């Protein structure tokens, strides 16, 4: 009988393949940095907007355009105006105020309060009198060359420029309604050499008012 020799069979042993362990995903740090940067920018913008509207609600900044208020104010100076000055009080004689021109609300002017409600203003012979009492106006550029009489009704003011003969004011266009007043000038802030608190000359008027 023919015999056959079987070659030994070797089973190939395969080593089990192991999956590599998943490494935790690391978020790049620069992503967090950009988020923080974006939030900082947003906060800065919001704060700037709030400050902008807040400051504008409390004050105004105006440029003196012209020569109607010399020698007190000069052409080209910048003035800080207090918008809240008359929210709880009334304008006083001598106050330098900023207001919208009654005939043109798009135009703002700056003048000095001379006549108050209920008073009679008389101008003649180079002087101004209130209810018959002459004002001692040491701050004007020159005595007025015009004349006239005005009675100031309630809710209105009589205003004049310190440069009396080169000023569009109440002696030309009439009385100023309270609602047109923007605020009271506080200080000159530009140019720097001219920086100063604005003197409203209350001390000039007070002695004159003791007679009435």
d(CA 140, CA 70): 7
d(CA 131, CA 135): 10
- Residue 111 catalytic? yes
Name the residue among 57, 86, 51, 116 with its Cα closest to residue 185. Answer: 86
State the catalytic residue, choosing from 3, 35, 59, 68: 68
Name the residue among 116, 107, 27, 30 with its Cα closest to residue 62. Answer: 107
State the catalytic residue, choosing from 111, 170, 184, 185: 111
d(CA 7, CA 3): 13
* Secondary structure (3-state) at 99: strand
Q: Which residues are catalytic?
A: 68, 111
């Amino acid at each position: 009988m023919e015999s056959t020799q079987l070659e030994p069979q070797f089973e190939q042993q395969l080593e089990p393949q192991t999956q590599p362990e998943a490494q935790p995903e690391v978020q790049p740090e620069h992503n967090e940095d950009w988020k923080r940067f974006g939030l900082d920018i947003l906060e800065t913008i919001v704060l700037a907007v709030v400050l902008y509207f807040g400051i504008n609600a409390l004050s105004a900044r105006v440029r003196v355009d012209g020569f109607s208020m010399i020698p007190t104010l000069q052409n080209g100076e910048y003035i800080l105006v207090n918008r809240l000055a008359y929210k709880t009080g009334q304008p006083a004689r001598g106050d330098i105020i900023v207001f919208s021109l009654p005939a043109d609300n798009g135009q703002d002017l700056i003048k000095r309060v001379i006549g108050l409600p209920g008073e009679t203003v008389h101008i003649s012979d180079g002087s101004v009198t209130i209810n018959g009492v002459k004002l001692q106006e040491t701050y004007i550029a020159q005595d007025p060359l015009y004349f006239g009489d005005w009675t100031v009704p309630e809710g209105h003011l009589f205003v004049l420029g310190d440069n009396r003969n080169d000023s569009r004011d109440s002696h030309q266009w009439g009385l100023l309604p309270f609602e047109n007043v923007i605020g009271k000038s506080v200080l000159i802030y530009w140019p720097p050499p001219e920086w100063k608190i604005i003197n409203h000359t209350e001390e000039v008027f007070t002695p004159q008012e003791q007679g009435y």
